[in-house]
Structure 1
Amino acid sequence: MVLAVKSQELSVRIDTKKGILESDWHYLTQWKERVFPEEGRSKEWTPVSWHSIAYSEANDPIGHIGFDRFEVLIDAVPHLVIGIGGVVVRPEYQGQGIPALLFNEVHDQARKHLGAGVFTLFCPSRLVTYYEKHGYQRYPGAVYLLQQGEKVLSTFEFMHHGDLAAVGKVVLQSEPW
């Protein structure tokens, strides 16, 4: 896949698979001590098993989105969703459209492999507009999730892409993703 960037071209290969090599994850996240939002460091997160990874021409991982299928209860009715987590782009590749490529890949591959068409993610309020650019919208109802074995009200925004039930109380059966 070739991505036009300003006056140059960037060649990017995207691979979607179960699992991620420890060396790839380290390369993606070693550039900064705090890759993920500070607000999430004290939270418990559910790991995901699927990964879409963008690779440079040199075959270095330069971007990542993790995902998996989860069940949420909306007003006590079960709904299958794809949970998105671990959105990372190395700093030297930021601003070049890599997240858009990755989100397109995830939306396509997750439907094929996991059989659900609604995508969800958790983010701090300050990142809402970023995810809106990728087609996500804020869920207006209350969202409860597990933290240290107890259901608590989420302090993160719950965002979705695709049709999710109208306003209702969302309860996760796990930690956020």
Structure 2
Amino acid sequence: MRVETQKGILESEWHYLTQWKERVFPEEGRSKEWSPVSWHSIAYSEANDPIGHIGFDRFEVLIDAEPRFVIGIGGVVVRPEHQGQGIPALLFNEVHHQASKRLGADVFTLFCPSRLVSYYAKQGYQRHRGGVYFLQQGEKVLSTFEFMHCGELTADGEVVLQSEPW
């Protein structure tokens, strides 16, 4: 298995990773507008098939009204037949190394349903206790997702995205 980080992802690779997508992404997020990401860390099998993915990009947020850049993580996917093999840990290690170097930010953030908090905690993320707002159909709304971070972020301040979540 190899892991690569690249800008962009081939449509055929994304389709292969998500062709079972009715089970890929949490139901809670299917009706939401999401920000696209430009960067992708992809795990490939020995047969050169994409078997795992994490998308990421740099976003500006306001933390207690102060602008700050963070790395937004989205599109965490591992094909069912490869789950339980430690692929997310490899991908998160790759993202944490590559994103800091390429995008110049050292705080990683993601959105998830409450039931996935312990899963992301295993990757070094902790829950943000303050309110988080993001755009939906041009309006600022309070997030119903957990906002998690890896790296120094105020523990309970208000976070306002200037975009849709990632």
TM-score (norm 2): 0.98
Distance 1:167 1:32, change over 3 A: closer
**Does residue 1:85 correspond to 2:102, yes or no?**
no
Query: What do the CA deviations read for 1:87-115 (whole angstroms, capped 9, x no partner)?
Result: 00000000000000000000000011000
Q: 2:30 aligns with which of 22, 41, 58?
A: 41
- In the TM superposition, structure 1's runs of 4+ consecutive aligned residues that sit over 6 Å from their partners are none
Q: 1:96 aligns with which of 79, 85, 101?
A: 85
CA distance in 1, matches of 2:123, 2:136: 28
CA distance in 2, matches of 1:174, 1:32: 24
Give the secondary structure class of the aligned counterpart of 1:104. Answer: helix
Query: What do the CA deviations read for 1:58-107 (whole angstroms, capped 9, x no partner)?
Result: 00000000000001101100111000000000000000000000000000
Identity across matched positions, percent: 84
User: How far apart are 1:35 and its partner, in Å?
Assistant: 1.1
CA distance in 1, matches of 2:136, 2:92: 27
Runs of 5+ consecutive residues of structure 2 not aligned to the other structure: none
User: How far apart are 1:167 and its partner, in Å?
Assistant: 1.7
Larger Rg: 1
Q: Which amino acid aligns with 2:73?
A: I
CA distance in 2, matches of 1:43, 1:133: 26
CA distance in 2, matches of 1:56, 1:140: 38
Number of paired residues? 166
Give the secondary structure class of the aligned counterpart of 2:6. Answer: strand
CA distance in 1, matches of 2:64, 2:46: 47
Residue 58 of structure 1 is matched in structure 2 by: 47
Q: Which amino acid aligns with 2:152?
A: D
TM-score (norm 1): 0.92
CA distance in 1, matches of 2:111, 2:48: 30
CA distance in 2, matches of 1:32, 1:64: 13
Runs of 5+ consecutive residues of structure 1 not aligned to the other structure: 1-11
Residue 167 of structure 1 is matched in structure 2 by: 156
